[in-house]
Structure 1
Amino acid sequence: MEVLRTEHATMQFGGLTAVNDFNLCLNQGEIVALIGPNGAGKTTAFNMITGVYKPTQGAIFFKDENITGMRPDQITKLGIARTFQNIRLFKDLSVMDNVLIANHLHVRSNFLEAVFRFPRYRREEKEMRKKSIALLEKTGLVSVQNEKASSLPYGMQRKLEIARALATDPEILLLDEPAAGMNPRETEDLTHFIRGIQKEFGLTIFMIEHHMEVVMGISDRIYVLDYGVTIAEGTPSEIQNNRKVIEAYLGVAENA
Structure 2
Amino acid sequence: MNMLRTENITMKFGGVTAVKDFSLNIDKGEIVALIGPNGAGKTTVFNMITGVYKPTSGKIFLKDKDITGYRPDKITSFGIARTFQNIRLFKELSVLDNVLIANHLRIKSNFIEAIVRLPKYNREEREMHEKSIELIKRVGLLDVIHEKSSSLPYGKQRRLEIARALATNPSILLLDEPAAGMNPKETEDLTEFIKEIRDEFDLTIFMIEHHMQVVMGISDRIYVLDYGVTIAEGNPNEIQNNPKVIEAYLGVSEDA
Query: Which TM bucket (shorter chain)?
Result: over 0.9
Matched, 1:181 2:181: yes
The Cα offsets for residues 170-214 of structure 1, whole Å up to 9 and x where unpaired, read as 000000000000111110010011011001001000000000000
1:56 corresponds in structure 2 to 56
CA distance in 2, matches of 1:4, 1:218: 19
Which runs of structure 1 show a deviation greater than 6 angstroms over 4 or more consecutive aligned residues? none
The residue aligned with 1:143 is 143
How many pairs align? 256
Q: Which amino acid aligns with 1:126?
A: R
- Deviation readout 1:141-167 (Å, 9 max, x if unpaired): 111110001111111000000000000
Q: What is the identity, as a one-letter code, of the residue corresponding to 1:97?
A: D
Residue 78 of structure 1 is matched in structure 2 by 78
Find the aligned partners of 1:2 and 1:236 in 2 and give their Cα distance.
21
Written as runs of structure 1 = structure 2, the 5 A alignment for 1:123-138 is: 123-138=123-138
Q: CA deviation at 1:72?
A: 0.4
Name 1:6's counterpart in structure 2: 6
Question: 1:174, 1:94 → 2: CA distance?
Answer: 24
Percent of matched pairs sharing the same residue: 75
Query: Following TM superposition, by how much is the alpha carbon of 1:121 offset from its aligned partner in structure 2, in angstroms?
Result: 0.8
The one-letter code sitting in structure 2 at the alignment partner of 1:75 is I
TM-score computed with the length of structure 2 as normaliser: 0.99
The 2-side partners of 1:219 and 1:234 are apart by 10
Hey, what's the Cα distance between the residues in 1 that align with 2:142 and 2:17? 44
Structure 2 Cα separation of the partners of residues 213 and 255 of structure 1: 26
After TM superposition, the structure 1 = structure 2 runs for residues 215-226 of structure 1, keeping only pairs within 5 Å, are: 215-226=215-226
CA RMSD of superposed structures (Å): 0.6
SS at match of 1:205: strand
For 1:241 and 1:115, locate their aligned partners in 2 and report how far apart those are by CA, in whole Å: 60
CA shift, 1:255, in A, is 4.0
Q: Deviations over 1:98-149 (max 9, x none)?
A: 0011011010111122122211111001000111111111100111110001
Q: TM-score when scaled to structure 1?
A: 0.99
Unaligned 5+ segments in structure 1 are none
Partner of 2:35: 35
What one-letter code is carried by the residue in structure 1 that aligns with 2:98? N
The DSSP-based 3-state class of the residue aligned with 1:19 is strand
Partner of 2:117: 117
Partner of 1:198: 198
Query: What SS does structure 2 have at the residue aligned with 1:187?
Result: helix
